């Protein structure tokens, strides 16, 4: 259940930002979840809600968006989606990527030229994209 650990890290990062910026309270928190992380969004949002309540930040509005993962071949320049790659993977390979997203480089190839040399353009990780607060 790494969703709980990620949710906790997001909330603690927001609290640290609040302290550094001397905000009385945080009113809005925006988060992007990269598709490559394959996070169970329902569990992640539940964990966020519980941790926010525990930290008595109940006035804070939390928005969570999914960011599509895009891959780009360094050889031919072709771009494709992670969803396309997932269609060609076994359940075991998909699970490996779920826990360690960088192993996608072992299990995926460019659909056009079959090169294993590609980059993750977007859709990796969990990012706080905005924190709005009151001083």
Backbone angles phi, psi at 6, to 5 degrees: -65, -40
For residue 31, what is the enclosing H or E element? strand 25-34
Domain(s) of CATH 3.30.2320.50: residues in the chain: 2-68+123-134
CATH architecture, domain 2-68+123-134: 2-Layer Sandwich (3.30)
Residues 6+ apart with CB under 8 A from 51: 7, 8, 11
In this prediction, residue 76 carries a pLDDT of: 98
8 A C-beta contact, residue 28 and residue 60: yes
In this prediction, residue 18 carries a pLDDT of: 95
- What are the residue ranges in the chain where pLDDT is below 50? none
Cα–Cα distance for residue pair 36/20, rounded to 1 Å: 31
In this prediction, residue 93 carries a pLDDT of: 87
8 A C-beta contact, residue 73 and residue 112: yes
In this prediction, residue 8 carries a pLDDT of: 96
Could you give the angle at the alpha carbon of 51 between the alpha carbons of 24 and 41, nearest 5°? 120
Its pTM stands at: 0.80
């Amino acid at each position: 259940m790494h969703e709980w650990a990620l949710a906790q890290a997001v909330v603690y990062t927001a609290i640290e930002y609040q302290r550094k910026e001397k905000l009385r309270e945080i009113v809005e928190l925006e988060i992007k979840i990269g598709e490559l992380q394959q996070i169970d969004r329902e569990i992640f949002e539940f964990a966020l809600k519980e941790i926010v309540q525990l930290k008595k930040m109940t006035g804070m509005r939390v928005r969570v968006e999914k960011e599509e993962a895009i891959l780009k071949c360094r050889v031919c320049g072709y771009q494709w989606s992670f969803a396309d790659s997932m269609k060609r993977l076994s359940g075991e390979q998909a699970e490996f990527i779920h826990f360690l997203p960088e192993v996608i480089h072992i299990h995926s190839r460019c659909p056009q030229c079959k090169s294993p040399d590609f980059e993750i353009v977007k859709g990796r990780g969990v990012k706080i994209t905005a924190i709005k607060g009151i001083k």
